[in-house]
Amino acid sequence: MKYALAFLSCLLLINCNRPQPRQPSPAPADSLQVDTAGLAAADTALTAIESKPVQQSRLDYDTTQWADIALLDSTIRIDMKYATTDNFVQEKMYDCGRCFLRPEVAKAVLAAHRELQLQGLGLKMLDCYRPRPIQWKLWEKTPDPRYVADPREGSMHNRGAAVDLTLVDAGGRELEMGTPYDFFGPEAHPAYTNLPDAVLANRQLLRETMLGQGFQPIRSEWWHFSYGKQNYALSDMLWKCY
């Protein structure tokens, strides 16, 4: 019995002296630091991104009356010359360069562009719908009906049914057409033939492609085509800029 009691005493002593598992100490409150300044900056940046208008995704017009070419096909190049000073009046006439057309006209332009893409080419838009208030400004500068339509009668541009355009290659480079855009002279006439064969071929390709989609050319400008399948009213609609 004496030995048994001694053995139990040893077991109790060993158990009491065994090291216990250590629990992690809670971190002091002031050691848990949150970068509130960084979070605030990120939130401000995110808000700015979310609130910034994105032109290409905004349907800020009557879609039953108008189509924005850039939203139909982003591969169509847009270089609206009257949104720059690179035009015959050498003055910026549009606040920004958006290409609007009547929906049926826009679909015909899109069809022409896709036909050209099969040949590794495409269209570049130089002018589209032209608001009649802008037509008045052009008329005041050049009151010559050979080159600028009288705004009292209006033009096909003022109806959203005419386009000024040219051909580009797959890299967006313009093909040689013989004259610059807005060149007033016989060399710009589609019937003018004293040009290199390559230029004549480019003009013919543009003409045939547009004719195939219901457009008609005019006698004085190789770049101008009017849609002839439907009549449209004159418009004063001014598009928004961002």
The answer to whether position 31 is within a domain reads no
Enter the pTM of the model. Answer: 0.76
The answer to whether position 220 is within a domain reads yes
The answer to whether position 241 is within a domain reads no
Strands 224-227 and 215-217, by their bridges, are antiparallel
Phi-psi domain of 178 (left: phi exceeds 0; alpha: psi -120 through 50; beta: other): left
Q: What pLDDT score does 12 carry?
A: 42
Task: List per-residue pLDDT tens for the chain, 242 residues long.
Answer: 444 444 444 444 444 444 444 444 444 333 334 334 433 433 433 333 233 333 444 689 999 999 999 999 999 999 999 999 999 999 999 999 999 999 999 999 999 999 999 999 999 999 999 999 999 999 999 998 888 999 999 999 999 999 999 999 999 999 999 999 999 999 999 999 999 999 999 999 999 999 999 999 999 999 999 999 999 999 999 999 99
Q: What pLDDT score does 59 carry?
A: 86
The residue range of the domain holding 161 is 62-227
Tokens encoding 39: 């979070």
The answer to whether position 1 is within a domain reads no
CATH number at residue 69: 3.30.1380.10
Q: What pLDDT score does 146 carry?
A: 82
- Contact between 161 and 232 under an 8 Å Cβ cutoff? The reply is yes
Q: What pLDDT score does 232 carry?
A: 97
The answer to whether position 39 is within a domain reads no
Q: What pLDDT score does 23 carry?
A: 44
The answer to whether position 216 is within a domain reads yes
Strand, helix or coil for residue 36: helix
